[in-house]
Amino acid sequence: MTENLRRLIRDIPDFPKPGILFRDITPLLADPSGLALSVELLANPFRGKNIDLVVGAESRGFIFGTAVACCLSAGFVIVRKSGKLPSKRIATTYELEYGKDTLEMHSDAIVKGQRVLVVDDLLATGGTMKACCDLVKQLGGHIAGVAVLIELADLRGRDKLASYDVHAVLRYE
């Protein structure tokens, strides 16, 4: 089943810079059955786990997170880059390979004790996903799990999420 998804992911060498092999999901997004299967495989391990909210970071986390939230009959919360949210917000800054970045969430997005699933398309070094989890925890949410379409296992992002249940549909070594 997952081999069908792998065939829909295009490898682009040397993007965005030399030496990087980019996993392009746009062909998968354009394929109705591939997109539907991806969403089902992201959501299935968390069915019956009483998920209240799904959190997704811009931009591809919005695509998969909203769809997974619908599958789980849960709400959806967005995480954005600094300065993009209009209401009162909380923020966290995290390390990138060459510098720092900041993510924000509305301060009223999560009620203390809500069960949250954090969803994104890719787990690489784990910085973005850990930042999302940190925001959820700041508001008193309980991380019920982390789900990603693709995990680049050799970058060891899972290590930053060791205290969470991490589900990856596809793993690349």
Instruction: Name the residues annotated as catalytic.
Output: 60, 97
The tokens for 27 are 């062909």
In one-letter notation, the amino acid at residue 64 is: F
The one-letter amino acid at 44: N
Per DSSP, the residues of 71-130 read: HTT-EEEEEEETT---S-EEEEEEEETTEEEEEEEETTSS-TT-EEEEEEEEESSSHHHH
Q: Tell me the CB-side half-sphere exposure of residue 2, using CA atoms within 13 A.
A: 9
Three-state secondary structure call for residue 17: coil
* Cα(30)–Cα(8) distance, integer angstroms: 9
3-state SS, residue 7: coil
